[in-house]
Chains A and B, each alone.
Chain A
Amino acid sequence: MTVLNSTLSLALIVSSLTVDAVPAAARQEPRVNATGAAVQAFQKKVAEYVKLHHEAESKTPALSETSDPRKLASREEALGAAIRQLRADAKPGDIFVAEFLPVLVEAVRNDFSTRTAVDRKAMVQDFPRSTTLSINMVYPASLPLATFPAKLLRALPDLPPELEYRIVGRHLILRDAKANLVVDFVRDVVPTIPS
């Protein structure tokens, strides 16, 4: 009898624990890596853009080797025009999606915080001056394509060869490397440098 009672008591305890455990588990939110999800959302948009880029490429003469600079210019322009047509309604944030922005801003700020004042100043001096940006604009010929800080490049998600990060003034842009178009941008990402 004593043995039976003990067994029943144990069964009740186990059963109550199990009953308690289920609602607790049910209440828990699934664990999400917020940074990973944000990067994934950005990469999804990048992949969509690359698909569109390839579609535009299929409709225009291929950019291939030529000794005629007129062909270079006309092919680049044709590709740019085709892309503009395919994403005529594009707006800022279409690729640099909202959930990715904090990740991007933090990466840039972290990079700058690890640099000396001299290094920061030298970098900022090398960035081309700010200009009015708009989606699908041709990257201005008057602005150099300043070197993108190699260390920062490693902290950002990789891009396919069709796209590259660039900095203009304090803004970070996403540039179509073949069509020479600004496809998205984020303003004021680069920290201000005290004069």
Chain B
Amino acid sequence: MGAIMKFNRRRIREALLVALVVTGVAPAWRSDAGSVGAATADGAGETRPPAAPDSLRFAVIGDSGSGSRAQYEVGRQLFGSLSVFPYEFVLMLGDNIYGPERPQDFVQKFERPYQPILDRKVAFYAALGNHDDPNQRFYQPFNMNGKRFYTFEKHNVRFFALDSNYMDKDQQAWLERELEAARSKWTIAFFHHPIYSSGARHGSEVDLRAIVEPLFIEHGVDVVFAGHEHFYERLKPQKGVHYFTSGSAGKLRAGNIRRGPLTAKGFDADYSYLLVEVDGDNLHFQALSRQGKLVDSGTIQASQAATAPAGEGRTR
């Protein structure tokens, strides 16, 4: 009985907040992550609006292609966020299609869960996971242009999609060459296997780290997104690079984070996804659960090198 009353009080408070937001009496969101946000009628949950009108905005989903009910629920919430936080594209961190990859699997595990988003002409850019047939690179909606690893630029951000399943010499040489040539303000890499992770199931991919981390440092990679671990984790910056794991858009390994020295913020209680905005020198991020609850948020500043503690600053 007490629990029901508590639930009802919360619902009433949220409804009141919605009314205040709609009428312009309350701010759209509060600044601390995890607080009650603007539970809007359009299903955006606690999604925060962008900080600037002309910024670059994108979403990040990992390990999405399970075809499960949860994937569809995350898809609906991701679409809900679009109304408050209009993102231009979505990064997919691998395991885009689990299990068989028959034509109907592409429909059930990608096209249908994200149909409303695809209908809005939002592009998806995929990286390959260990459950993905590399021939997904020929699937046009994944925008891989037939390549296992590729790069593209949006506004002032250069993105690198890597195939962490198979880091051969060709890919390493390509990465070094392309990073060397990159002249954008921000450099973001995304791939499947996290090189830093507090996951009990997999943990950090140290082999891969030995190869890519020196390149990330030498060439000023700012932010890295990875999946593979079925939870959300923001790691403490490692040698100046900011790492996120977001591998729970279609699979969840509840309670799998072994919180330790690497973890800045972890969320392994529900499915989740990320929204990111790059606005000049600032990169704002917000992690949301499939229920639309804000589980983490913050800002990474491009000018951290001058002010950050030793070992945590930018190298660019």
Contacts and interface: CB of A to CB of B under 8 A. Distances in A.
B135 A180 contact: yes
A27 interface: no
Interface stretch (B30-38, B152-160, B206-214, B306-314): B206-214
Nearest to A146: B130
Nearest to B102: A73
Interface residues of B, number: 37
A99 interface: no
A122 B141 contact: no
A67 interface: yes
B139 A153 contact: no
B107 interface: yes
Contacts of A164: 166
A99 B192 CA distance: 36
B164 A147 contact: yes
Interface in B210-261: 210-211
B101 interface: yes
Contacts of A69: 101-103, 105-107, 139
B140 interface: yes
Contacts of A152: 207
B140 A153 contact: no
A58 to B, nearest CB: 18
Which one of A65, A76, A148 has the greatest number of beta carbons of chain B within 10 Å? A65
A68 B132 CA distance: 17
B52 interface: no
B127 to A, nearest CB: 12
Contacts of A119: 206
B25 to A, nearest CB: 46
A31 interface: no
A150 B211 contact: yes
Contacts of A73: 101-103
B20 interface: no
Interface size classification for chain A = 20 to 34
B193 A153 contact: no
Interface in A58-117: 63-70, 72-73, 76
B107 A145 contact: no
A152 B203 CA distance: 19
A142 B133 CA distance: 11
Given A70-B103, A154-B169, A63 B135 contact: yes
Contact of A67 (B102, B141, B208): B141
Contacts of B130: 126, 144-147
Interface string A166-191: 00000000000110100000000000
Contact of B135 (A70, A122, A150, A178): A178
Given A69-B105, A146-B130, A147-B208, 20 more contacts: A66-B139, A67-B140, A67-B141, A69-B101, A69-B102, A69-B103, A69-B107, A72-B135, A72-B138, A73-B101, A76-B133, A119-B206, A122-B202, A122-B203, A142-B100, A147-B205, A150-B167, A153-B167, A158-B168, A158-B170
Interface of A: 63-70, 72-73, 76, 119, 122, 126, 141-142, 144-154, 158-159, 161, 164, 177-178, 180
22 contacts: A63-B138, A65-B139, A65-B146, A69-B101, A73-B103, A119-B206, A142-B99, A144-B131, A145-B131, A145-B134, A146-B130, A146-B165, A147-B205, A147-B208, A150-B210, A150-B211, A151-B210, A152-B207, A158-B168, A161-B170, A164-B166, A177-B134
Interface of B: 99-103, 105-107, 130-135, 138-141, 145-146, 164-170, 192-193, 202-203, 205-208, 210-211
